[in-house]
Amino acid sequence: MISTDRGLLPQQKENARHGEAGFPIERYHTRLHATYQDVPPHWHEEAELTLITRGASRYTVQLRSEAVQEGDIVFVPPQVLHAVTTGGGEMESDTFVFHMDLLGGRNADICTLRYLAPLSAQKLTPPAVIRQDHPLYDPLLRLIREMNRTWEQQEVGYELLMKAHLLTALALLMPHCTKDSAELALRAEHAEKIKAALDFMERNYAEEIAIADVAAACYFSQYHFMRFFKKYMGVSCGEYLKNLRLEKAAQAFTRGETGILDVAMESGFRNLSYFYREFQKKYSYTPKQFIQRCVEMPVK
């Protein structure tokens, strides 16, 4: 089994390769706790199929937030903005991340044209959270368990079985998809605006950033952007940017960087006292204490 905390600090537009070029699938273990409470909003070319194995959290998928708990299943299509937060609690989950190319996403057959391409283009919207009372739950849970067994045993031909399992999972999801509608199109449009803002901050967090600059990145006036961002993200743009910078600093510390002043500056903080105060507020440790914990308990 591939078991990792995934760093829990992905880039907003995640560029990491999941699996190998010829077999683009990977299984991950995610653990959120008091120190790492969130997976920040991000998106990638791959789809995700997740089983919550312990605890509870809130998943936000395409700007819609839902509570999840142990036993729930979450599906995130390709290119869809998503995030996870525990609000200070704990959660563990197992996730298969896979590219549609593995399933023939570049082929011009009826499966791609009718199902895979519309799913990737967000013309079909599957349920994000599948709970125990959903008619899809039992067969999908059995399938995920079989996927885990196949992945762990990795017998000859397991790649074919994994591909078959994923195609079966999508086939199970298809009858429960919502087709393109004005509401879904508007939500997708708004998600693209948010993604543009997040991408701008990801690329420029180390520099001085004015809210007007972020607003311009998604073609909004500053006034409308501030309202729009807080409506969907739940925090102001300034608060989000501060948290992003703190996460970048924590990521640097977990990589083994120990120069607190250098890390603060490289993360976009110009006031060291402010950095100390906000870092301790977010992580419950001073930067020095956090570095010591990283030495004693390295992040996998």
Q: What is the pLDDT of residues 152-179, one digit of tens each?
A: 999 999 999 999 999 999 999 999 998 8
Beta bridge partners of 25: 98
Confidence of residue 6 (pLDDT cuts 50, 70, 90): very low
Tokens of 146: 């079989």
Q: What is the mean pLDDT of residues 238-260?
A: 93
In the prediction, which pLDDT does 122 show? 87
Fold (topology level) of 25-179 = Jelly Rolls (2.60.120)
Class of domain 183-296 as given by CATH: mainly alpha
Beta bridge partners of 66: 59
Q: What is the mean pLDDT of residues 31-53?
A: 90
Taking all residues of the chain, what is their mean pLDDT, rounded to a whole number? 89
In the prediction, which pLDDT does 14 show? 57
Please say if the pLDDT value at position 99 is more than 80: yes
In the prediction, which pLDDT does 13 show? 55
Q: What is the mean pLDDT of residues 238-264?
A: 93
Confidence of residue 300 (pLDDT cuts 50, 70, 90): very low
The model's pLDDT over 108-135, given as tens digits with 9 standing for 90+, comes to 899 999 999 999 988 899 999 999 999 9
In the prediction, which pLDDT does 185 show? 80
The type of residue at 114 is R
Within 121-181, residue ranges assigned H as helices are: 137-153, 158-173
Contact 46, 24 (CB under 8 A): yes
Residue ranges of the domains in the chain?
25-179, 183-296
Buried b or exposed e, range 10-30, using 16+ CB within 10 angstroms:
bbbbeeeebbeeeebbbbbbb
Return the H-helix or E-strand segment holding 251.
Answer: helix 237-254
Tokens of 92: 């563990």
What CA–CA distance (Å, rounded) separates 264 from 268? 7
Rg of the chain in Å (alpha carbons):
20
Beta bridge partners of 59: 66, 84
Q: How many CA atoms does the CB half-sphere of 78 hold within 13 Å?
A: 19
Reported pTM: 0.79
* CA angle (127 as vertex; 235, 133 as ends), nearest 5: 110
Q: What is the mean pLDDT of residues 223-242?
A: 92
Please say if the pLDDT value at position 12 is more than 80: no
Buried b or exposed e, range 159-172, using 16+ CB within 10 angstroms:
eebbbebbbebbeb
Q: What proportion of the chain, given as a percentage, has pLDDT over 70?
A: 91
Helix axes 237-254, 222-233, angle to 10 degrees: 60
The model's pLDDT over 179-226, given as tens digits with 9 standing for 90+, comes to 877 777 888 889 999 999 999 999 999 999 999 999 999 889 999 999
Please say if the pLDDT value at position 299 is more than 80: no
Asked, colleague to colleague, whether 25-179 and 183-296 share their fold, the answer is no
Query: CA nearest 235: which of 197, 187, 183?
Result: 197
Give the chain's end-to-end CA distance (angstroms, integer).
14
